[in-house]
């Protein structure tokens, strides 16, 4: 591709594939739908790890987590591992970020202005990195007991005198209340909410960026990741809504570690509790959607939409009560499936794709959009550009995802989950989309085929 397109990548943290318009969660997202209306919507996209840090490291390197050196949550991407950001910068791109990156999770310091030196090494030129959603349960204080902000959002809250308030609330949510506890943010004002903080920074950048050279801008929201604490006014917008039930599971055929986790997370949760949690999730989604509308308006007003590819994605999903589970860190559909929507100026209508796309595929896709030559054999990822240009649909025969305790292989019909030191699982997703019937003892022929694709022996 000769033309170098601007690239706007918008990521939500812990956002379900089924939260996309019309896919099952019944949450209104009119501005995400604006992107979908002229886009390729990947209906079977998944992450390479249903956990923030490995998933994001895989995204920026185009490699599976065990190949880029990031397998656990509290880790940092080694500085000698190449990123696609660096490649874009080499060919003249501005490479900006507003929000969470998780590229150095091992070090819980982001700089009070969000522009640590190592971020430039990763490939950024315009940096405003913020903390993640949970990073207010732990504060650093000096000898006199005064807060030492660890990032720009902590500084913002500290300057307004509310950092201790949210820290105390988050500690209580972690230690005192059940995992499904959902109450509005103690901050009060929606403008003080973290995603509003990120959204304002992104609006400023998009409003003022020069259009003399191409750019790649990564807007990475902290929500709708738990804690379930949306602004009160956003929650009120969802007050009258009733959301679909979670997947009920007898847990027959599930490994012991999954059963124990379900007991810890949702034992005692009532239907009213679940609806309250889902309203809180929906409210956080709605706030993000509102900001996305502002971004799209800026692009249109500045006529940047004519030269900008827009990507909406997530690092992983959210169980939201399915199988009695919350959050992610498992290989079930709600956890491993992600929204992946790519809109380009040459697209005039929505197209559905069932290609086995993965989040890491955005690395080579962005490089090809920028005209970067790269070694295709060095990546596990595959460019989605042929699909975006209607040249071909074939991508890969299986999707792979991994955690430190399990791995997944999915071929478009069957999903094999290999659980270390526990029973394995096999689901026929086409005929059992809720993953209620473990076929591991009935279809060893399928398992043998799956094992040919496994990346850990």
- Output the DSSP codes for 100-141: ---TBTTS----TTS--HHHHHTT-SEEEE---TTTTSS--B
State the pTM of this model: 0.97
Q: What is the mean pLDDT of residues 48-71?
A: 97
- Report the Cα–Cα distance between both ends of the chain, in Å, rounded: 39
Tokens for 6, please give them. Answer: 């601007």
Question: Residue 4 pLDDT more than 70?
Answer: yes
Contact 229, 169 (CB under 8 A): yes
Per-residue pLDDT band at 290 (split at 50, 70, 90): very high
Separation between Cα atoms, residue 105 and residue 76, nearest integer Å = 5
Task: Provide the 10 A C-beta neighbour count for residue 142.
Answer: 8
Tokens for 455, please give them. Answer: 């990346």
Please report the pLDDT score of residue 189 as a whole number. 85
Please report the pLDDT score of residue 2 as a whole number. 65
96 phi-psi bin (left φ>0, alpha ψ -120 to 50, beta other): beta
Please report the pLDDT score of residue 394 as a whole number. 85
Please report the pLDDT score of residue 88 as a whole number. 98
- Strand positions, DSSP E, 194-325: 215-224, 308-314
Please report the pLDDT score of residue 456 as a whole number. 63
Please report the pLDDT score of residue 223 as a whole number. 97
Q: What is the pLDDT of residues 323-345, one digit of tens each?
A: 999 999 999 999 999 999 999 99
Separation between Cα atoms, residue 160 and residue 236, nearest integer Å = 25
Strands 351-353 and 94-99, by their bridges, are unpaired
Q: Does the N-terminal peptide bond of residue 224 adopt cis geometry, omega within 30 degrees of 0? A: yes
Separation between Cα atoms, residue 277 and residue 181, nearest integer Å = 7
Question: Residue 130 pLDDT more than 70?
Answer: yes
Please report the pLDDT score of residue 431 as a whole number. 98
Per-residue pLDDT band at 247 (split at 50, 70, 90): very high
Contact 299, 202 (CB under 8 A): no
Alpha carbon of 109 to those of 71, 131, 182, 248, 414: distances in Å? 20, 8, 28, 40, 42
303's CB contacts (< 8 A; 6+ apart) are none
Q: What is the pLDDT of residues 156-196, one digit of tens each?
A: 999 999 999 999 999 999 999 999 999 999 998 899 999 99
Question: Residue 410 pLDDT more than 60?
Answer: yes
Question: Residue 1 pLDDT more than 60?
Answer: no
Please report the pLDDT score of residue 11 as a whole number. 98
Give 443-451 contacts, CB < 8 A, sequence gap 24+.
443/414, 446/414, 446/416, 447/416, 449/411, 450/398, 450/409, 450/411, 450/414, 450/416, 450/426, 451/416
- In the chain, what percentage of residues exceed pLDDT 90? 96
Query: CA-based Rg of the chain, rounded to a whole angstrom?
Result: 21
Tokens for 295, please give them. Answer: 């971004």
Per-residue pLDDT band at 454 (split at 50, 70, 90): confident
Tokens for 338, please give them. Answer: 């992600």
Contact 384, 62 (CB under 8 A): no
DSSP label of 19? G
Please report the pLDDT score of residue 217 as a whole number. 98
User: Can you spell out the DSSP letters for 332-365?
Assistant: SHHHHB--EEEE-TT--S-EEE----BGGGHHHH
Separation between Cα atoms, residue 175 and residue 153, nearest integer Å = 23
For Cα atoms 164, 165, 170, give the angle at the middle one, nearest 5 degrees: 95
């Amino acid at each position: 591709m000769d033309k170098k397109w601007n690239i706007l990548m918008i990521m939500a943290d812990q956002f379900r594939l089924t939260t996309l318009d019309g896919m099952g969660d019944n949450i209104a997202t009119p501005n995400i739908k604006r992107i979908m209306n002229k886009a390729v919507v990947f209906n079977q996209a998944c992450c390479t790890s249903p956990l923030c840090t490995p998933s994001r490291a895989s995204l920026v390197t185009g490699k599976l987590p065990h190949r880029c050196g990031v397998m656990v949550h509290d880790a940092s991407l080694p500085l000698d591992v190449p990123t696609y950001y660096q490649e874009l910068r080499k060919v003249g791109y501005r490479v900006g970020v507003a929000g969470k990156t998780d590229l150095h999770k091992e070090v819980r310091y982001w700089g009070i202005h969000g522009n640590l030196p190592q971020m430039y090494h990763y490939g950024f030129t315009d940096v405003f990195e913020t903390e993640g959603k949970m990073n207010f349960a732990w504060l650093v204080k000096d000898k006199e007991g005064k807060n030492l902000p660890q990032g720009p959002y902590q500084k913002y809250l500290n300057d307004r005198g509310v950092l201790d308030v949210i820290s105390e609330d988050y500690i209580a949510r972690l230690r005192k209340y059940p995992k499904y506890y959902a109450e509005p943010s103690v901050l009060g004002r929606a403008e003080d909410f973290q995603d509003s903080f990120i959204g304002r920074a992104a609006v400023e950048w998009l409003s003022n960026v020069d259009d003399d050279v191409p750019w790649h801008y990564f807007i990475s929201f902290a929500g709708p990741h738990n804690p379930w604490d949306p602004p009160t006014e956003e929650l009120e917008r969802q007050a009258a809504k009733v959301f679909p039930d979670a997947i009920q599971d007898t847990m027959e055929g599930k490994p012991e570690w999954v059963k124990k986790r379900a007991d810890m997370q949702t034992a005692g949760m009532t239907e009213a509790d679940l609806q309250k949690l889902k309203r809180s999730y929906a409210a956080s989604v709605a706030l993000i959607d509102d900001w996305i509308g502002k971004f799209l308006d800026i692009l249109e007003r500045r006529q940047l939409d004519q030269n900008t590819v827009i990507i909406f994605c997530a690092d992983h999903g959210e169980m939201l009560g399915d199988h009695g589970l919350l959050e992610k860190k498992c290989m079930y559909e709600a956890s491993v499936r992600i929204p992946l929507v790519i809109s380009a100026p040459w697209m005039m209508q929505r197209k559905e794709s069932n290609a086995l796309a993965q989040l890491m595929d955005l690395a080579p896709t962005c490089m090809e959009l920028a005209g970067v030559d790269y070694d295709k054999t060095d990546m596990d990822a595959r460019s989605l550009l042929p699909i975006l240009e209607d040249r071909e649909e074939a991508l890969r025969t299986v999707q792979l995802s991994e955690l430190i305790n399990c791995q997944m292989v999915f071929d478009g019909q069957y999903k094999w989950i290999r659980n270390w030191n526990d029973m394995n699982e096999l689901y026929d997703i086409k005929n059992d989309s809720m993953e209620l019937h473990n076929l591991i003892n009935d279809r060893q022929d399928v398992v043998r085929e799956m094992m040919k694709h496994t990346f850990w022996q």
